[in-house]
Structure 1
Amino acid sequence: MLGGLLVLLALRVPVAISLLVPSLVYVLLDPTASLGIAVQRTVSGVNNFAILAVPLFILLGNLANISGLSDRLYTTAIAFLGHIRGSLGYVNIATSFGFSWMSGAAIADAAAMGKIQVPAMKKRGYSEEFSLGITGASSMIAPMIPPSIPAIIYAVTAGVSVGALFMAGILPALVLIACLCVMVWWLMRKQRHLVLPRTGWAARGRSLLGSLPALGAAVIILGGILSGVFTPTEAAGVGVLYIFVIALIYGSLTWRKVYRILLGSVETTGSVLLIVAAAALFGWVLAREQAPQLAAEFILNFTSSPIVFLILVNVLLLIIGAVLEPTAAILILVPVLGPVAETFGISPVHFGVVVIFNLLIGLLTPPVGLVLFVLSSVTNVPVTRVIKGVVPFFIPMLATLVVITFVPALSMWLPAVLGFT
């Protein structure tokens, strides 16, 4: 099964087909299985109320991006941070953080911020490599905080609370933001010319008022989940409706834009849920063959230390993330590694944050590195130069990974305080 999957992936067969073919071969060769079971398992993989949040949050992110709400966040960040040396680096991070509450995906963030911020930074005298690097690195914030799409996929796969995983990613995301800010300060510390004129308080107030309605999506999503008014899936639906109304009020929607938003959302949803459906059958086969138990036995024979286990997992996931996109990697690896982590006494919520952030780093790692290609596409810069710009920012990302891995309280404190664990 695993050999067939690896061969098909090496041949660049789409991930969903690579998962489905070995699974169907197994079903056809096993006399105790049947195609009826295969169909049932495949359909049950997506017949889940929590999974419904995925297309809704994808729609929400596309709506916020194409309707121009990200532009308002950028203007506000410029107004408050523009007078600081190397300000557009901090603006990049702040805008990504604001947009993250609506996008939930690194690719959406990279596409939106790449089109706005990279040209603006180059025009103001920032190097192309720095502009691309900080834009790629700051896009990692989005999948760490609500409405994180990888968190939803992990929660459904591992059987943990979506709300708990949403809350668990917030403090690690703030650590990532702090590490990125330190890196920007270090790289810009001698660039005295990279300063914009100070914006007056009246202009700051106007820009803040213009962006507050867009930021209200975060209040609705988080507030609704924390207060128990609605589930994460229902929060996604309410968030979409809210952003749609705000975009109409701003007058930033046209029929052409609505068509682009819906088309993009359908394409992304189709690709994600096809992988989820195929992975459900693949995971059932692995469970039937007791792969999690065999993996646990093998690792326990190798080491009895949770720290060594986490180090091994980090190395494995960094490699896997470089060749496989996060959704597929989560669906393939979590059913195997999750039970092993529990035998070491590692919380599935903490383990989820570790897994997700590892795989996000893979989005900036060749040869697959989807964010690299997105940035290349929206900026018309060769991907080799995008990679060159991103490389220095692996330092803050890996530093964040170390903190997330070995300080579990960072992930567990907020869910515990809010009653999710």
Structure 2
Amino acid sequence: MSANPAVQTSRAPGAAFILKKALVSAFVALVLFSLMIGVRTEAGPQGQLVYWTRFGDLAAMVGAVFGGSIIIELLRQWWGPVDTVKVVPASVQRGLSLAGRLLPPVLLVFTFLVPVLFYNERYILDLAILVLTYVMLGWGLNVVVGLAGLLDLGYVAFYAVGAYSYALLATNFGLSFWICLPLAGILAAFWGVLLGFPVLRLRGDYLAIVTLAFGEIIRLVLINWQSLTGGPNGVTGIPRPTLFGIPLSPADDGLAALLGIEFSPTHRIVFLFYIILALALLTNWVTIRLRRLPIGRAWEALREDEVACRALGINTTTTKLTAFATGAMFGGFAGAFFATRQGFISPESFTFHESALVLAIVVLGGMGSQLGVALAALTMIGGFELFRGLDQYRMLVFGMAMVLLMIWRPRGLIGHRAPTVFLKHSQAISSDLVKEGHG
């Protein structure tokens, strides 16, 4: 009996194919890492170029790539074809669903208890404030990128506008933090609208280039307008926030003296922690509420298909401008907090690296996912601190982690592209409603 030629049997690649692919990967790693790891250069004491070789580290990295490529191919053979549908047991599905429902409240409760659990750990408190700042920035950018689908590479510009707005208003006019905070958000939203007008007809790469240029324009203005911004020297002496007019200082009119307790510098750190936590939760609450309103559904329609969105009668001009203004407002709030926390700001704090980091948080967490952005911010910022002692390899490790995540989870840790409003049950439509002349 002759075999049917239409039936083809798929065989797993042999050892020769796996070895060949591993050698190719190792060769690519050798070419890429030769100058990054194999040769180290620095400026000498007299300005000359000093270099030394690290061939041992280079060989270890190439060997790791070689072995990792073999392991990945073996795992692919063991896992089977990608298009094979694997049935997940019902018990596992229920467990994952329960974990997904319990994770947000558990994280929220733990975040509230961080100052209590780590009161004497100044480093952990500062790191927690930094993480919450990037969580707020990620949620703000998620409105523009995740919900409206507008690729913004200049988000740091609104961060800078909020910071400098608070710093200049507080130092020149003596306004308090609670008065300057909404003003900083309004000014940042105004600049978001100004950015939105020139890019109304742009999409994709062109939109990214224009927003990137906008961020660089703001940074150069901050550097060169020395009479207003102080130029490269920045703004110093930015006042700290108070608790309803009561300063958190060791003075007689301070909070500790009024409560009759011993003053501690940690009081101000805890106060700042709860301020940024409240601002982050406000950002999350407003974003969730906006998603359920018509403007939020218009953002989602714009993200999925701008042509179809315009064909449905949605005003894309208003939709884009509101997305830019809302995201910029939250960036301005975060910038005002950054200025009052640091007490000093300069243009060096608002470079493209900050925009890239916030965008990476949004993309890795999952565009449109609030929980995913929070987890990505915790992983990115906390992970950077874990690898602080390995400055030479920190960015390399994170770059590899991002590549692997984009391969295995292209929509981020928690991808969320489902529309806010949809029909939960399919409905039958009568033929009388769809015949010619009726719809």
Normalized against structure 1, the TM-score is what? 0.24
- Relative contact order higher in (CA < 8 Å, ≥ 6 apart): 1
Q: Determine which structure has the larger helix proportion and give its number.
A: 1
The structure with more radius of gyration: 2
Normalized against structure 2, the TM-score is what? 0.24
